[in-house]
Structure 1
């Protein structure tokens, strides 16, 4: 059964349908060796390429919307390939059988915490779109003398270089000296917005951690550099927030699996413990 090309490419995780339509209109997509135009339909055995690179696709009945939660480490970049050969968030993600992982927004180099990735381009695009206003929460360590006037200004709204911005809520969580922790929430994800808001008050952010996205909080047992597959209920919560239909299945083999990096750490700890015990037994002899 044939399907519209843009629908097949979006399902493959390459981008939203709107983005894919722009690629087709620009002549970047070919089917069976021929550049195609908008409106073309494809079969499951057609050979599709974008910018000359083959695309792995899955039939509608085989496709499963997957979402993973990842604990980003400071120093990791959010690009797929980095010209400076720095570590990227994609280095630690599991392989996906069709399409690719798409990051739901980004965190800058010196920010850690919760990131979401999905193989569904339409879901990723909607989750990032400001019209849906999904709340994000950050733990922020601020360097400087934070006054009540600063907090009021940041909640009322300030003008940044790319327009007005504000925090929906600010809660102080203690600290020492001129370093104080705050939990802040906002409903958009502009570049370095949390840092720029505090800088507008001549205050410096010395630590920044995203701890929540919507109702999904960063688990305490999810170590930095590791990931967890979201359950079907969690996936459908996200889809519901952006007005997409519910899925009726998840990826059962990895539904509650810890990240590969954490699994390897546990193996190494177990081997190290075994060697240490063996060494002690030898010394006793």
Structure 2
């Protein structure tokens, strides 16, 4: 009878050797492009391009494709040191923040104006990444995540993810104007258009519309209307892709996506779902009134929260947003 193999003999088998090799590979660290994409520095393809262009320096030498980061490595991008250790693996989190007018989407402002990042709950590791921007005079939905790859997929022009806005216009808008805005208007940075325009009533000289765009150019909604000599007096983002501004979420409040909502969003952008999500506790001053699941809502349930002096738009509760 063949004697029972010892532990040492088992370790010499091909299967054990493969497992040992796999374990050793983990000790070599992660690829540079994967780490920087997770930290929101850029997409993996962008980081790979920077590496080939010699813009990424690892321990004093130009980085190479396939290069890996290990504890203690020094990394610079375009001459600026990166604290890449903060980009460690962590459960994905996504916040919805109801931005008020008067706040800017930046981490620090030299003019000491209110910034949105100071309103968010703190992360133990990593950092919040803003998914797109809203200008200082625009209110509404802002998404934040600690997953750089998710942020890039949500923002990248190739994704063509639609953003919906409620906008108040001063003046009479004709059918010809609507047709022109949907066909395209030449701006200083190229042709732009609304993918959908829905009239939502109004009083006096003010008219309310819901418009959608599939790109994130600076002040695009305002510039399209202004190109036809219309004045935008109110602007609020109410949807980003499948995510709506939740009912009851007042300005300066946050809602963190539940595990189910997060998996739906990851699936939407083509990323694998995650399990056992950690849900951070918001600061007291930004605690949301409601944690109801995010779902598709009628326009009636998504009335913007304006100042009392403002006239609110009328909504057709039987209409739903076009996709």
TM norm structure 2 = 0.72
Does 2:286 align with 1:262?
yes
Whether contact under 8 Å (2:254, 2:287) holds in the other structure is: no
- Cα drift, residue 220 of structure 1: 2.4
Cα separation, partners in 2 of 1:201 and 1:3, compared to 1, 3 Å? same
Question: Match for residue 213 of structure 2?
Answer: 186
Bigger RCO of structures 1 and 2 (CA < 8 A, at least 6 apart): 1
Report how many residues are paired. 257
Gaps of 5+ in 2: 1-25, 290-323
Distance 2:108 2:56 in 1: 21
Question: Match for residue 276 of structure 1?
Answer: none
Tell me which structure has the larger Cα radius of gyration. 2
The alignment yields a C-alpha RMSD, in angstroms, of 2.4
Mapping of 1:90-105 within 5 angstroms? 90-105=117-132
- Choose from 89, 101, 113 the match for 1:86: 113
1:145-181: CA deviation from partner (whole Å, max 9, x where unpaired): 2122211211222222222221121111121111111
Mapping of 1:31-42 within 5 angstroms? 31=59, 34-35=60-61, 37-38=63-64, 39-42=66-69
Does 2:183 align with 1:156?
yes
Does 2:275 align with 1:251?
no
Cα separation, partners in 2 of 1:58 and 1:100, compared to 1, 3 Å? closer
Question: Match for residue 314 of structure 2?
Answer: none
Gaps of 5+ in 1: 266-285
Distance 2:87 2:163 in 1: 32
- Choose from 103, 120, 140 the match for 2:147: 120
- Cα drift, residue 21 of structure 1: 4.1
- Cα drift, residue 14 of structure 1: 3.6
- Cα drift, residue 69 of structure 1: 0.7
TM norm structure 1 = 0.81
Cα separation, partners in 2 of 1:243 and 1:79, compared to 1, 3 Å? same
Does 2:195 align with 1:200?
no
